[in-house]
Structure 1
């Protein structure tokens, strides 16, 4: 599936332009000390003509859906909010792409990117890495948690991939005294803006 880049998207954003839009899909939440459960993920990525993207994501508890089965994003039933996050994505102009474990070693030249992420549960993070073709790999460079955050987050790693018009994603987290481990994953389909 192809997509069209709008005329008002800054050229620096072309390697990230496939993220633009509203997305929804099923996923699974599984982390040490948290029972495995189904989730529904919503992601909205926008731009205002500047050299960055703004985003929000919301994970809600939901039914477990087979990752391989076709799904209708509009028909997914989402329940209680599990987490929210917002921030900005931008190319790291003038920087070398930071290698991230698991990132592809071949293909088009990677574009260095930075992500600024905030979560209302009390943490903020700076992630950096690369966009390489239809794949993005980022890992935390800096994470800060407030004194009242329910679980001190110490590291984050994320992967996003464009596959046949959908975004497949995986988030890893080190928090609550645990080492970096799978936290949530799923797939997203574009929904009407």
Structure 2
């Protein structure tokens, strides 16, 4: 899939331009006290000329035939770059939690660590987290490690996504 940089892209977002578009694929979730499962994922990054990317991700539990069984999670947010390599990300989840993330971008590789979390009265936020996004052989690789429910930071979800046409 050929990618072109949007004409109205804010200059500060050039290091993130490779993310813009919609990505789809599959992944895996495993964590203590959770029965592991495969999932389908769609991630979209878009922009409107301002100094941030708009972000939307949703996942669905799938069966062994890759058929959707049920929705799993969705999150929306904004990605803002500072000083050409420091990334600030704010996310809001359909479960009622919100998170602030800080990280670095080095070419087509992004590493984020959770800075702060807000939990709604009915949902507990994760205690710690790290995220990785990288362009690997034309695919967007993502991973999310979390610490929650008394468990240390460890692998939780990972996926490999292809750019949609």
TM tier relative to shorter chain: over 0.9
Q: Which runs of no fewer than 5 residues in structure 1 stay unpaired?
A: 66-75, 94-109
**Stretch of structure 1 that moved more, 78-87 or 129-138:** 78-87
Structure 2 equivalent of residue 82 of structure 1: 72
CA–CA distance in structure 2, aligned partners of residues 169 and 60 of structure 1: 16
Q: CA deviation at 1:64?
A: 5.5
Q: TM-score, normalised by structure 1?
A: 0.80
CA–CA distance in structure 1, aligned partners of residues 24 and 64 of structure 2: 14
Structure 2 equivalent of residue 6 of structure 1: 6
**1:60–1:80 CA contact under 8 A, matched in 2:** yes
**How many residue pairs are counted as aligned between the two chains?**
165
Q: Does residue 154 in structure 1 map to residue 154 in structure 2?
A: no
SS of 1:27 mapped into structure 2:
strand
Structure 1 equivalent of residue 96 of structure 2: 122
Q: Which runs of no fewer than 5 residues in structure 2 stay unpaired?
A: none
Structure 1 equivalent of residue 20 of structure 2: 20
Q: How do 1:96-135 and structure 2 match up within 5 A?
A: 111-135=85-109
CA–CA distance in structure 1, aligned partners of residues 67 and 18 of structure 2: 25
Runs of 4+ with >4 A deviation: none
Q: What are the superposed Cα offsets for residues 141-169 of structure 1, whole Å, 9 maximum, x if unpaired?
A: 111212200x4311121000001211011
CA–CA distance in structure 2, aligned partners of residues 145 and 64 of structure 1: 33
Q: CA deviation at 1:6?
A: 1.4
CA–CA distance in structure 2, aligned partners of residues 57 and 165 of structure 1: 19
Structure 1 equivalent of residue 81 of structure 2: 91
SS of 1:153 mapped into structure 2:
coil
**1:125–1:143 CA contact under 8 A, matched in 2:** yes
Q: CA deviation at 1:77?
A: 3.3
**2:20–2:44 CA contact under 8 A, matched in 1:** yes
Structure 2 equivalent of residue 29 of structure 1: 29
Q: TM-score, normalised by structure 2?
A: 0.93
RMSD over equivalenced CA pairs, Å:
1.7
